[in-house]
C-alpha cells in the first residue's frame, strides 16, 4: 500500500501533526507530499491518501489547498481511500470548527474517493462544523489550542483505525494491500 | 460549472484583472507616502486583503445601469469600476479637480457622480439607506439595474444598516449589500460586535433576501458571487447580501496602529492570505501567464501610476474663497405673490386643509413627486392629523405610502431616491411627531451635507415635514420643537409658518425647490381658528421673507410658529391698555433669515423682544439677538429681551406645561418692561 500524506510543509501545527501521523504508521509507509507544490499526478500516484488542513478564518480552506483544487478538477479518485485530518479551535471558532475537513471531504468525494477515518465528536464542544456529518466527524479533528494533551492519543487511535480501514476491501483488488 | 475559474477565464480578462490589482495595490501602498511628504491624504484606509471582492464589485458594476455606494476602503473597487488612478489621487490629495468634492470631503472617499459612483458619508453604512432609496426609484421607473452598497462587517451593528436591509427586503428592492468582513471595526474584533461570526447570517430570517458567502480574498470566488448576486437581484427583484471574507493586512487607517492589538502570528497569518499574491501564484501555476508577462504588467502599472501621480500633483488646490458656495441651492422663486400676501379675501381654511390641498395640487402638478412617512396612508386614515388624507386614493400607493416605523429609513431613502433623477421631489413626514425625529438626525446631517460635500453635484429635493411644538398637553414626547437644535447645521432651509396661508405657500415653494427644506408645522394650529386664513389655490411664499403681521413703531416683536398668535394677542392688549404700537414680525423662514425686514423694524422701534416656543437657552432667538447685538447695536435703546420655554422638558400636566412654555403673561410683561425702559 502506498500512502501519500498531503499537507503544507511550511505550516507549524499541521506539519507537526502530520509528522506524528507519519511516525505512527511506521517507517517508509507514508510519503510526505508538500501540498504547496503538489500536482494531480501526485494524487494519482497513491492508492491511499491522507490529507491535512487547518481551517482559515471563518471556515475556509487555506490558500495552499484552495490553489490546487482547480488543478484537480479532472482527478479521478474512485477506488482510492482518502482520510482527512484537520485542526480547529473550539473556543475561538465554535461556529466553523474544523470546517476545512468538511470542505476537503466534499472535494474528494466529488472526485469519487472513498472517505475513511471518520471519528466521534464526543469530547468536543462547538456550535457548528462542516466536518460533522451524520453524527460523525469526517476525519480526525485536533484542537491544539484547547485540548493539547489529547492530541497524541487521538493521533494514535486514528492511525490505528486507518490501518484497519485501509486494509478493508471495500472497493476491490487494489485495496487488498497489507500495510 | 462556475462562470469564472483559473482555467476557463480568458487570458485577456485575467491580464486586465492582474493589472487592476497590481495598480490598485501600488496606489494603496503609495498613499501613505503623500502624507509623509505633507502632500495630503491624511486619511487612508488600506484595502489590501480585500482585493478579490473589490475587484469583483468594480467588474460587475454596469455604468449607466447601476448605482454604486462605495465606502472609504473601496479604492480597488472604484478603480475596477473604471475610475482612473489620477482621479483617485486627486481625491487623496484633495485637489480642486477632485471628482468627489473638489477637496471638501475627506481623502479616501472616492466617487464619480457622473457614473453614479456615489458620494457618501464617512459614517459608513449610512449609504445603505441611500441604496435602498435609489433602488426604490429603479423599481418605480422600471429601470433595469442594481444599487450596490458596501462596507465592513462592523457597520452591520448600526441600526441604519438593519433598517436598510429590512426595508429592501420588505419592498423587494434590487440592492446588493456587500459586507467586506475583515474581522475588525478599527481595533474592535468581531466578537465584540455580534455573536454570529458570519454576520450576514444575522439576517437569515428575512424574507425576500438572498445571502451569498464568498471568499473575498479569492478573485474567482468573488467574481462568481458578485455575478450571481447581480443577476439574482435583477431577475428576482430582491436584495442580496454578499458576505465576503477578507483580511485586513494593514492597520484600519493611518490613525490606527494595529501592532498594538494584533500579535505576530496573526499578522503573519493575514499576510499569508494576501489575495494579490495568491492570484499571481495561480496565474503562474496554471500557466496562464509567464513570469515575464506578469512583470510586464507590473511595469505598466508602475509606469501608469507614476504618470497619474505627476498629473495629479500639478492640479490646482481648492480656492478658499469658494467655501460658501453650494451650501444651499437656489430655490424656486415664486412670482405670483411677490410680497408674500394673498391678494384677495375669501373663505378661511384651517392649516390642515391648506396643507392637504397644497400637497394634492403639487402632486397633480408634478408626477415625479412622492410622499411617505409613518401612519400617513391606510384606507381612510391619512396621517394622525389628516394632512395626507385622500392622497393615496388619488395618487396611488406607489407614490404615497406608509413607511416602516424607522425614521432614519424614511429620510435616508428619500435622499437615495432623489439620486436617481433630479426631477424627483419627495415629501416626507420625518416622524409621527417632531419628538420622534431624533433617530433620523444622522440622515438629516447627510441631507444637509450633500450639496456642499459634492461641490454642487447633488442635492436631495426633499421637503421634510414635522408636526411640531406643544400647547396640546402632550408632555415630554409630544411637545418638542427642534428648530433650535437643527438650525446649527448648514445645508437645510428651515421654515416655520404660523398661519394656514403661509403653510400652503411655503409648502408649495418647498416642493418646487431644488434642495432640502425642513418644514415645521405648529400642530397646535392645525385646526385652530386663529391660524385659519384665506388661501388662494396657487399661493406661494418665497423663502427668507418675514411677514409683518401687525405694524408698529414702539417695539419689534420677532417671533414664529405658535407664539406668533400669542404675540399678536399681546400687541393688541398693549395697544388697548397703553396705546403702544408693537410691530409683530412673523419670521416664517428661519433659514434663510430675513434680516432686511428685521433690521428695518429695529431701526424704526429701537427695541426688540424675541419670542419663541423653544427654550430661551440656546434657542434660535439667541442667534437673532446676537445678530442684532452685533449689527444693529447703534439703533438699540434697550437690551434685547427674549421670551421662550424654560430650560426643562415640557411637563404633561396642564399646570406644568403652562409653567414651562411661554404664555401671553410672560410676553406681555417682557414687552411692557421694554416699552417702559
| B473 DSSP 8-state letter | S
| B618 DSSP 8-state letter | T
Q: Search chain B and give the residue with CA nearest A55.
A: B269
pLDDT of A56 > 60? The answer is yes
Q: Are B125 and B158 in contact (CB under 8 A)?
A: yes
> How, if at all, do strands B516-522 and B175-181 pair?
unpaired
Catalytic residue among B116, B425, B478, B565: B478
- Residue B244's Cα: distance from chain center in Å? 27
**Separation between Cα atoms, residue B199 and residue B384, nearest integer Å:** 38
Mean pLDDT of A152-170: 91
CATH (one of 3.40.50.1780, 3.90.1150.10, 3.40.50.360, 3.40.50.2000) for A3-175: 3.40.50.360
Considering only CB atoms, B197 lies closest to which of A58, A62, A73, namely: A58
Instruction: Tell me chain A's radius of gyration from C-alpha atoms.
Output: 15
Q: Are B145 and B176 in contact (CB under 8 A)?
A: no
Predicted confidence (pLDDT) per residue in B448-500, tens digit: 999 999 999 999 999 999 999 999 999 999 999 999 999 999 999 999 999 99
CB within 8 Å: A70 and B183: no
Q: Search chain A and give the residue with CA nearest B5.
A: A70
CB within 8 Å: B278 and A56: no
CB within 8 Å: A58 and B198: yes
Quote the percentage of chain B above a pLDDT of 70: 100
CB within 8 Å: B7 and A73: yes
Q: Are B172 and B213 in contact (CB under 8 A)?
A: no
> At what angle are helices B219-236 and B51-60 packed, to 10 degrees?
40
CB within 8 Å: A57 and B7: no
**Separation between Cα atoms, residue B130 and residue B677, nearest integer Å:** 55
CATH 3.40.50.620 given to domain B547-675: no
Which of A55, A59, A60, A128 would you mutate first to test chain B, the one with the most B CBs within 10 A? A60
pLDDT of A179 > 70? The answer is no
Q: Which of B146, B24, B28, B128 is nearest to B69 (CA)?
A: B128
**Separation between Cα atoms, residue B305 and residue A19, nearest integer Å:** 47
Task: Kindly write down the DSSP assignment for every residue of B81-109, as one continuous string.
Answer: HT--HHHHHHHHTT-TT-TTTTT-SPTT-
Q: Are A18 and A47 in contact (CB under 8 A)?
A: no
pLDDT at A176: 33
Chain A positions in Cβ-Cβ contact with residue B183 (cut-off 8 Å): 57
Which of A67, A127, A128, A144 would you mutate first to test chain B, the one with the most B CBs within 10 A? A67
Alpha helices in B314-454 (DSSP H): 351-365, 391-395, 407-420, 441-453
HSE (CB half, 13 Å, CA atoms) of B134? 26
The Cβ of residue A79 has, within 10 Å, a number of other Cβ atoms equal to 15
Q: Are B138 and B174 in contact (CB under 8 A)?
A: yes
**Separation between Cα atoms, residue B375 and residue B666, nearest integer Å:** 37
CATH architecture of B11-312: 3-Layer(aba) Sandwich (3.40)
Task: Kindly write down the DSSP assignment for every residue of B7-21, as one continuous string.
Answer: TTS-HHHHHHHHHHH
Which of B215, B263, B266 would you mutate first to test chain A, the one with the most A CBs within 10 A? B215
Q: Looking at the DSSP assignment, which residues form a beta bridge with residue B67?
A: B147
Q: Which residues contact A156 (CB under 8 A, 6 or more apart)?
A: A24
Hey, do B11-312 and B348-534 end up sharing a CATH topology, with the first three levels equal?
yes
Q: Domain map of chain B by residue range?
A: 11-312, 348-534, 547-675
Q: Are B349 and B496 in contact (CB under 8 A)?
A: no
The answer to which of B137-151, B188-202, B312-326, B625-639 has the lowest mean pLDDT is B188-202
Chain A positions in Cβ-Cβ contact with residue B197 (cut-off 8 Å): 58, 93, 95-96
Confidence of residue B340 (pLDDT cuts 50, 70, 90): confident
- Residue B611's Cα: distance from chain center in Å? 31
Q: Are B85 and B308 in contact (CB under 8 A)?
A: yes
Q: Domain map of chain A by residue range?
A: 3-175
pLDDT at A170: 54
Q: Which of B428, B493, B439 is nearest to B467 (CA)?
A: B428
CB within 8 Å: B197 and A95: yes
Please classify residue B441 by burial: count the beta carbons closer than 10 Å to its beta carbon, then call 0-12 exposed, 13-18 middle and 19+ buried: middle
Residues of A with CB under 8 A from a CB of B: 56-60, 62-63, 66-67, 70-71, 73, 93, 95-96
Q: What are phi and psi of B372, to 5 degrees?
A: -145, 165
- Vertex B127: Cα angle to A59 and B57 (nearest 5): 50
Chain B positions in Cβ-Cβ contact with residue A62 (cut-off 8 Å): 272
Please give the CATH topology (third level) of the domain spanning B348-534: Rossmann fold (3.40.50)
Considering only CB atoms, A56 lies closest to which of B181, B273, B282, namely: B273
Considering only CB atoms, A95 lies closest to which of B198, B278, B285, namely: B198
Q: Looking at the DSSP assignment, which residues form a beta bridge with residue B214?
A: B244
**Separation between Cα atoms, residue B439 and residue B482, nearest integer Å:** 13
Q: Looking at the DSSP assignment, which residues form a beta bridge with residue A85?
A: A52, A140
CB within 8 Å: A66 and B215: yes
pLDDT of B150 > 50? The answer is yes
pLDDT at B263: 92
Chain B positions in Cβ-Cβ contact with residue A60 (cut-off 8 Å): 215, 245
Quote the percentage of chain A above a pLDDT of 90: 86
CB within 8 Å: A95 and B286: no
Instruction: Tell me chain B's radius of gyration from C-alpha atoms.
Output: 28
Mean pLDDT of B303-318: 98
HSE (CB half, 13 Å, CA atoms) of A167? 8
Name the strand (E) or helix (H) holding A141: strand A140-142
Chain A positions in Cβ-Cβ contact with residue B281 (cut-off 8 Å): 67
Mean pLDDT, chain B, rounded, equals 97
Confidence of residue A169 (pLDDT cuts 50, 70, 90): low
pLDDT at A167: 87
Tell me the nearest-neighbour CA distance from A115 into chain B, angstroms: 24
Q: Search chain B and give the residue with CA nearest A94.
A: B197
pLDDT at A51: 98
Q: Which of B195, B184, B241 is nearest to B214 (CA)?
A: B241
Q: What is the value of pTM for the model shown?
A: 0.95
Considering only CB atoms, A63 lies closest to which of B183, B197, B273, namely: B273
pLDDT of B332 > 80? The answer is yes
Predicted confidence (pLDDT) per residue in B199-213, tens digit: 999 999 999 999 999
pLDDT at B218: 97
Confidence of residue B323 (pLDDT cuts 50, 70, 90): very high
Predicted confidence (pLDDT) per residue in B629-661, tens digit: 999 999 999 999 999 999 999 999 999 999 999
Mean pLDDT of B6-24: 97
| A113 DSSP 8-state letter | P
Q: Are A17 and A142 in contact (CB under 8 A)?
A: yes
Choice between A26 and B552, residue whose per-residue pLDDT is larger? B552
Considering only CB atoms, A70 lies closest to which of B7, B245, B278, namely: B7
Predicted confidence (pLDDT) per residue in B168-180, tens digit: 999 999 999 999 9
**Separation between Cα atoms, residue B54 and residue B109, nearest integer Å:** 15
CB within 8 Å: B215 and A73: no
Known active-site residue B478: yes
Amino acid at each position: 500500500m502506498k500512502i501519500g500524506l498531503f499537507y503544507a510543509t511550511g505550516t507549524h501545527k499541521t506539519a507537526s501533526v502530520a509528522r506524528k501521523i507519519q511516525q505512527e504508521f511506521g517507517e517508509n509507509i507514508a510519503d510526505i507530499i508538500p501540498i504547496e507544490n503538489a500536482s494531480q499526478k501526485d494524487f494519482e500516484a497513491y492508492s491511499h491518501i491522507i490529507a491535512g488542513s487547518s481551517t482559515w478564518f471563518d471556515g475556509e480552506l487555506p490558500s495552499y489547498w484552495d490553489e490546487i483544487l482547480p488543478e484537480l478538477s479532472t482527478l479521478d479518485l474512485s477506488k482510492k481511500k482518502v482520510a482527512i485530518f484537520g485542526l480547529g479551535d473550539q473556543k475561538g471558532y465554535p461556529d466553523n470548527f474544523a470546517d476545512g475537513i468538511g470542505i476537503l471531504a466534499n472535494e474528494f468525494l466529488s472526485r469519487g474517493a472513498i472517505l475513511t477515518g471518520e471519528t466521534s465528536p464526543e469530547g468536543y464542544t462547538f456550535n457548528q462544523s462542516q466536518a460533522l456529518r451524520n453524527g460523525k466527524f469526517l476525519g480526525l479533528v485536533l484542537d491544539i489550542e484547547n485540548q493539547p494533551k489529547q492530541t497524541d492519543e487521538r493521533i494514535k487511535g486514528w492511525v490505528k483505525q486507518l490501518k484497519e480501514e485501509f486494509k478493508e476491501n471495500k472497493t476491490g483488488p487494489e485495496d487488498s494491500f497489507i500495510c | 460549472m462556475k462562470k469564472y475559474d483559473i482555467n476557463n477565464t480568458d487570458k485577456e480578462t485575467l491580464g486586465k484583472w492582474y493589472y487592476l490589482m497590481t495598480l490598485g495595490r501600488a496606489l494603496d501602498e503609495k498613499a501613505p507616502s503623500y502624507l509623509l511628504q505633507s502632500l495630503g491624504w491624511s486619511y487612508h484606509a488600506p484595502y489590501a486583503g480585500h482585493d478579490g471582492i473589490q475587484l469583483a464589485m468594480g467588474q460587475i458594476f454596469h455604468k449607466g445601469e447601476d448605482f454604486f455606494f462605495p465606502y472609504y476602503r473601496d479604492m480597488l473597487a472604484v478603480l475596477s469600476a473604471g475610475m482612473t488612478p489620477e482621479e483617485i489621487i486627486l481625491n487623496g490629495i484633495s485637489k480642486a479637480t477632485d471628482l468627489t468634492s473638489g477637496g471638501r470631503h475627506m481623502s479616501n472617499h472616492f466617487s464619480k457622480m457622473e457614473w453614479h459612483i456615489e458620494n457618501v458619508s464617512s459614517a459608513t453604512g449610512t449609504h445603505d439607506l441611500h441604496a435602498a432609496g435609489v433602488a426604490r426609484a429603479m423599481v418605480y421607473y422600471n429601470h433595469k439595474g442594481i444599487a450596490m452598497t458596501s462596507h465592513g462587517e462592523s457597520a452591520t451593528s448600526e441600526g441604519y444598516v438593519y433598517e436598510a436591509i429590512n426595508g429592501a427586503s420588505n419592498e423587494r428592492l434590487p440592492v446588493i449589500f456587500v459586507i467586506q468582513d475583515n474581522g475588525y471595526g478599527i481595533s474592535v474584533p468581531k466578537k465584540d460586535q455580534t455573536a454570529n461570526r458570519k454576520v450576514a447570517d444575522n439576517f437569515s430570517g428575512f424574507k425576500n433576501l438572498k445571502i451569498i458567502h464568498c471568499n473575498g480574498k479569492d478573485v474567482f470566488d468573488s467574481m462568481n458571487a458578485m455575478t450571481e448576486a447581480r443577476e439574482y437581484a435583477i431577475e428576482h427583484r430582491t436584495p442580496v447580501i454578499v458576505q465576503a471574507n477578507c483580511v485586513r493586512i494593514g492597520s484600519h487607517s493611518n490613525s490606527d496602529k494595529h501592532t498594538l492589538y494584533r500579535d505576530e502570528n496573526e499578522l503573519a497569518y493575514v499576510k499569508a492570505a494576501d489575495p494579490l499574491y495568491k492570484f499571481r501564484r495561480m496565474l503562474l501555476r496554471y500557466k496562464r501567464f509567464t513570469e515575464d508577462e506578469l512583470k510586464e504588467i507590473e511595469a505598466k502599472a508602475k509606469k501608469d501610476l507614476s504618470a497619474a501621480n505627476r498629473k495629479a500633483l500639478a492640479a490646482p488646490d481648492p480656492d478658499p474663497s469658494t467655501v460658501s458656495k453650494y451650501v444651499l441651492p437656489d430655490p424656486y422663486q415664486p412670482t405670483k405673490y411677490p410680497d408674500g400676501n394673498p391678494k384677495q379675501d375669501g373663505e378661511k381654511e384651517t392649516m390642515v386643509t391648506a396643507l392637504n390641498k397644497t400637497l394634492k395640487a403639487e402632486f397633480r402638478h408634478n408626477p415625479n413627486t412622492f410622499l411617505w412617512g409613518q401612519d400617513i396612508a391606510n384606507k381612510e386614515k391619512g396621517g394622525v392629523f389628516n394632512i395626507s388624507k385622500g392622497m393615496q386614493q388619488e395618487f396611488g400607493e406607489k407614490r404615497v405610502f406608509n413607511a416602516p416605523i424607522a425614521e432614519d429609513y424614511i429620510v435616508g431613502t428619500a435622499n437615495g431616491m432623489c439620486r436617481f433623477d433630479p426631477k424627483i421631489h419627495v415629501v416626507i413626514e420625518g416622524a409621527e411627531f417632531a419628538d420622534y425625529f431624533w433617530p433620523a438626525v444622522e440622515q438629516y446631517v447627510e441631507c444637509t451635507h450633500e450639496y456642499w460635500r459634492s461641490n454642487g453635484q447633488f442635492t436631495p429635493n426633499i421637503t421634510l415635514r414635522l408636526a411640531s411644538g406643544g400647547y396640546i398637553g402632550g408632555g415630554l414626547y409630544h411637545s418638542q420643537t427642534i428648530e433650535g437644535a437643527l438650525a446649527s447645521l448648514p445645508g437645510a432651509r428651515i421654515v416655520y409658518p404660523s398661519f394656514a396661508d403661509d403653510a400652503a405657500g411655503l409648502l408649495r415653494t418647498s416642493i418646487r425647490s431644488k434642495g432640502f427644506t425642513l418644514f415645521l408645522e405648529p400642530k397646535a394650529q392645525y385646526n385652530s381658528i386663529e391660524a385659519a386664513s384665506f388661501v388662494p389655490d396657487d399661493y406661494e411664499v418665497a423663502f427668507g421673507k418675514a411677514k409683518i403681521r401687525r405694524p408698529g413703531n414702539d417695539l419689534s416683536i420677532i417671533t414664529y410658529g405658535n407664539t406668533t398668535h400669542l404675540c399678536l394677542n399681546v400687541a393688541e392688549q398693549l395697544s388697548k391698555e397703553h396705546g403702544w404700537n408693537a410691530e409683530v414680525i412673523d419670521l416664517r423662514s428661519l433659514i434663510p433669515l430675513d434680516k432686511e425686514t428685521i433690521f428695518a423694524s429695529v431701526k424704526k422701534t429701537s427695541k426688540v423682544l424675541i419670542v419663541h416656543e423653544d427654550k430661551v437657552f440656546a434657542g434660535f432667538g439667541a442667534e437673532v439677538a446676537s445678530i442684532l447685538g452685533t449689527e444693529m447695536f447703534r439703533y438699540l435703546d434697550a437690551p434685547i429681551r427674549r421670551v421662550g420655554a424654560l430650560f426643562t422638558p415640557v411637563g404633561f400636566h396642564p399646570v406644568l406645561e403652562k409653567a414651562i412654555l411661554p404664555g401671553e403673561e410672560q410676553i406681555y410683561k417682557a414687552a411692557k418692561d421694554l416699552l417702559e425702559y
